[in-house]
Structure 1
Amino acid sequence: MTILTDQTFDKAYEAHNKAEMVEFFATWCPHCKKMEPVVAKLAQEYAGKISILTVDVDQAPLASRKFGISGVPTFLFVKNGKVVESLAGEYTESELKEQLKALL
């Protein structure tokens, strides 16, 4: 998985406008570290179906502001370029899968 910055965010976000999960995280966040293997697993499982993007809020303050991110981790579920759901905090793999299935 590629970690996006302000320089790479817009291009990656617009390239996958059908279905995306965008995770906003921080390297210093213990909750984000717990979510890292879950997000990596989902990225493999949904490869080719749903784009999983990860955004380091410290490296992408403009993208974070654009979506009103105030806490990490935050997951945005995007369909056809529109945010359809936003979740903040730790979630189980099954909880995230339910949101991903809704995008398909």
Structure 2
Amino acid sequence: MQNRLLMFYGTECSHCHDAEPIIDKLAQELKLKVTKLEVWHNSENKKLMVKFDKIKCGGVPFFYNEKNGKALCGNQSEAVFRKWMKGD
């Protein structure tokens, strides 16, 4: 299965804006694609986030790795994001 990485965010979310440059940097470095889905103004994306939110994050930023089912809630360190993106 492809290592599909999802970043759920809100347009006006400052925490999401803080995480985005780290995610973009790592995606480029690891040659991975992160699909970014806005949830505050898109109900379909919100439904998808709720479906994947087994850790009960309930907010954004929320990150989900479809390959291994690992989720992250909120901003993380670069090391934690790297591990999540690699599927470790």
Instruction: Note if contact 2:64-2:71 (Cα within 8 Å) is conserved in structure 1.
Output: yes
Q: Does 1:67 find its partner at 2:49? A: yes
Q: Gaps spanning 5+ residues in structure 2: where? A: none
**What amino acid sits opposite 1:30 in the alignment?**
S
Q: CA deviation at 1:84?
A: 1.0
Q: Gaps spanning 5+ residues in structure 1: where? A: 1-16
Find runs of 4+ consecutive structure 1 residues off by over 4 angstroms: none
TM-score (norm 2): 0.79
Structure with the higher strand share, 1 or 2: 1
Counterpart CA distance in 2 for 1:38 and 1:101 is 14
Deviations 1:29-86 (A, max 9, x none): 1111110110110221122xx321111113432122133053000000111xxx6111
TM-score (norm 1): 0.68
> RMSD across aligned C-alpha pairs, in angstroms?
1.8
- Shifted more, 30-39 versus 51-60: the winner is 51-60
Q: What is the percentage of aligned positions where both structures have the same residue? A: 27
Number of positions where the alignment pairs a residue of Structure 1 with one of Structure 2: 82
